[in-house]
Amino acid sequence: MAELYDIIIGPENIEIKVYLLEEEHIDRVYAMEVESYPDAWSRELFLPEINNRAGKFFVFFIEENLIGYSGYWLGGDEAHITKFTVAPPLRQRGLGTLFMNYLFEQVKKEGAKKILLEVRENNLPARCLYEKMGFQTIGTRIGYYVRTRENAVVMVRYLNDDIDEEHI
């Protein structure tokens, strides 16, 4: 049984349990990944995230139900979001904002001064969330998503030492 990492309070005061990714989570994470992305990571790509000392990979649960996951790698004072997913039926309900703020807190504790991510050029809901959270576009990776040949928009958000009330 995975050890509880944290508890956060979600919309409507719902208790969300946060765990670090463990092997017992892989099948559920992979199922959500396949449902969410045309170029889903394989089960095998998630396995190294379990013991990744260069970052963390969180899974979010309400009771026994996986509602999202997110991972990041750290390099110097920079965090790179590798995955950020909310369960499809629960999107547009404030969970993305909640999870992103949680990531901000976590990477700041580890000394990160900025966060980078890539997002599909045509994933407008995600891009809107990231812009709302203070990310700015800094470039495009042409053909980044191999299977679909879609471009990725590269975004960055600089983290202040003070809590940014606008994005909480």
Please tell me the pTM assigned to this model: 0.90
What is d(CA 154, CA 38) in angstroms, rounded to the nearest whole number?
19
Q: What is the mean pLDDT of residues 54-83?
A: 96
Provide the pLDDT for residue 161: 55
State the fold for domain 4-167.
Aminopeptidase (3.40.630)
Q: What is the tens place of the pLDDT at every residue in 87-145?
A: 999 999 999 999 999 999 999 999 999 999 999 999 999 999 999 999 999 999 999 88
Provide the pLDDT for residue 20: 97
